[in-house]
């Protein structure tokens, strides 16, 4: 039987650092980013693709700020949905073109995903995820009083809005996604981590003005659709300890136990590698077989075990999938 995999593209795979990030650059980057996923499709993998939207949602929030006096502002949850559709279109069309060029007959579809979170998640009451433009200190008081923003200092670079980033619990559309993937359709979903929602007491869904971590959502998705493998693609080729120092050591392999120990020791920062390691651990502890973290352009090599960092559960502790 064909293997099932979730491939999580970082937002920087579509808009690279130090680029302006116009549509032409985003399409060019998308074409480069999908080479390895096209290989997987040709190999017969059942595939769901997720993607980040950090650079893109930052630009969208700047547009909201700059046009506030001209048109009604768009809330963050709706911006995430907008970008899921727009970025999904770029990925979908690019994948269709790549498969057509290889004479591979596979359907590709983009599906918006609402991701259920706990309405009492601590991050909702004490948000810490930086989004959008920088502000001067003298602007902060007015933004807090007139718009209700929560603003904190972002290192030495200035002041920025912070929003909730609650832990994902379940994907509303998971059964539809699972059925499509099992039928061979390549599904692009959970864009930007998905659209965060919570469930009211009367079972209604309500949106949250926040963001969900794309990698944590990808792990939830992978479990929901019965994926054996999870690929988290980022800007570095391997997970490393002592990152950025002369003692840096790149890692070829980690067990879940080793990954959890290093995570708890603070080796992987919350703002960068931490969520990726946690996502891999979550996935493997709920029945996944193999998680890989590495650079987007190295996915073809990662499929052959020639690059990236592989994280696996030990055989005796590997839980059986229900």
Q: Mean pLDDT across the stretch 9-22?
A: 82
Average pLDDT over residues 213-230: 97
**Greatest CA span in the chain, whole angstroms?**
61
CATH code, domain carrying 285: 3.40.1160.10
DSSP-assigned letters across all residues of 71-101 = SPPPPHHHHHHHHHHHHHHHHHHHHHHHHHH
Asked whether residue 201 is domain-assigned, the answer is yes
Helix axes 23-33, 76-101, angle to 10 degrees: 60
Which residues, in sequence order, are CB contacts of 99 under 8 Å at separation 6+? 38, 41, 42, 105, 106, 108
190 near 170, Cβ under 8 Å? no
Alpha-carbon distance 48 to 88, whole Å? 12
Q: Which of 10, 98, 129, 308 is catalytic?
A: 129
Cα(191)–Cα(86) distance, integer angstroms: 10
Alpha helices in the chain (DSSP H): 23-33, 35-43, 54-66, 76-101, 122-125, 137-147, 174-182, 214-224, 256-264, 274-285, 299-303
**Residues paired with residue 32 on neighbouring β-strands, in sequence order:** none
Please tell me what DSSP assigns to residue 297: G
Catalytic residue among 276, 288, 294, 307: 276
Confidence class for position 318, pLDDT limits 50, 70, 90 = very low
Neighbours of 119 (CB within 10 A): 13
Query: Per the residue annotation, which of 53, 59, 214, 288 is the catalytic one?
Result: 214
- Name the range with the highest mean pLDDT among 57-71, 136-150, 212-226: 212-226
Q: How large a percentage of the chain has pLDDT more than 90?
A: 80
301 belongs to a structural domain: yes
Q: Residue holding tokens 């502890």?
A: 285
pLDDT for position 156: 72
Rounded average pLDDT over 228-254: 94
Q: Is residue 273 part of a domain?
A: yes
Position 164 in a domain = yes
Helix, coil or strand: residue 173? coil
**pLDDT, position 19:** 79
Task: Say whether 98 is catalytic.
Answer: no
**Integer CA distances (angstroms), 9 to 52, 107, 199, 318, in order:** 6, 19, 28, 26
- Check whether 31 has a pLDDT greater than 90: yes
Instruction: Report residue 66 as tokens.
Output: 């700059």
Residue 9 pLDDT: 95
Q: What tens digit of pLDDT does each residue of 35-68 get?
A: 999 999 999 999 999 999 988 998 999 999 899 9
Range in 11-25, 29-43, 154-168 with the lowest mean pLDDT: 11-25
The total number of structural domains that make up the chain: 1
Q: How confident is the model at residue 315 (pLDDT cuts 50, 70, 90)?
A: very low
Q: If you average pLDDT over residues 226-232, what whole number do you get?
A: 97
Residue 239 forms part of a structural domain: yes
Query: pLDDT tens digit string along 264-311?
Result: 999 998 878 999 999 999 999 999 999 999 999 999 999 988 999 999
Catalytic-residue membership of 152: no
Report field, pTM of the whole predicted structure over 0.85: yes
214 is an active site residue: yes
pLDDT of the residue at 145: 93
Q: What's the pLDDT at 132? A: 85
- Mean pLDDT (the chain) is 92
- Please tell me the distance from the alpha carbon of residue 304 to that of residue 291, in angstroms, as a whole number: 13
How much is the average pLDDT of 237-256?
A: 93
The domain in which residue 32 lies consists of 4-317
| Lowest mean per-residue pLDDT among 18-32, 68-82, 167-181 | 18-32
Q: Is 129 designated active site?
A: yes
Domain assignment present for residue 322? The answer is no
Is the per-residue pLDDT at 97 higher than 80?
A: yes
Residues 6+ apart with CB under 8 A from 236: 294, 295
What is residue 158's predicted lDDT score, i.e. its pLDDT?
86
């Amino acid at each position: 039987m064909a293997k099932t995999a979730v491939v999580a593209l970082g937002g920087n795979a579509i808009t690279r650092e130090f680029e302006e990030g116009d549509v032409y650059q985003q399409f060019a980057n998308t074409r480069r980013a999908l080479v390895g996923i096209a290989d997987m499709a040709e190999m017969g993998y059942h595939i769901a693709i997720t993607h980040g939207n950090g650079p893109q949602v930052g630009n969208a929030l700047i547009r909201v700020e700059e046009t506030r006096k001209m048109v009604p502002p768009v809330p963050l949850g709706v911006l995430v949905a907008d970008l899921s559709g727009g970025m999904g279109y770029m990925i979908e069309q690019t994948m269709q073109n790549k498969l057509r060029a290889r004479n591979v007959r596979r359907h590709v579809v983009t599906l918006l995903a609402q991701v259920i979170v706990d309405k009492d998640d601590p991050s909702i009451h004490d948000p810490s995820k930086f989004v959008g433009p920088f502000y001067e200190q003298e602007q902060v008081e007015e933004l807090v009083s007139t718009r209700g923003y929560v603003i904190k200092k972002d290192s030495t670079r200035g002041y920025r809005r912070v929003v909730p980033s609650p832990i994902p619990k379940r994907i509303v559309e998971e059964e539809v996604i699972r059925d499509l993937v099992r039928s061979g359709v390549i599904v692009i979903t959970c864009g930007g981590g998905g659209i965060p929602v919570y469930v009211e007491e009367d079972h209604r869904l309500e949106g949250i003005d926040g963001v969900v971590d794309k990698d944590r959502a990808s792990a939830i998705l992978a479990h929901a659709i019965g994926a054996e493998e999870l690929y988290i693609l980022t800007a570095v080729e391997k997970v490393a300890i002592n990152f950025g120092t002369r003692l840096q050591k790149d890692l070829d392999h980690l067990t879940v136990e080793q990954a959890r120990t290093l995570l708890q020791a603070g080796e992987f920062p919350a703002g960068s590698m931490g969520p990726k390691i946690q996502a891999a651990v979550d996935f493997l502890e709920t029945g996944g077989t193999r998680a890989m973290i590495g650079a987007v352009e190295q996915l073809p090599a990662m499929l052959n075990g020639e690059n990236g960092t592989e994280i696996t559960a030990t055989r005796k502790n590997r839980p059986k999938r229900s």
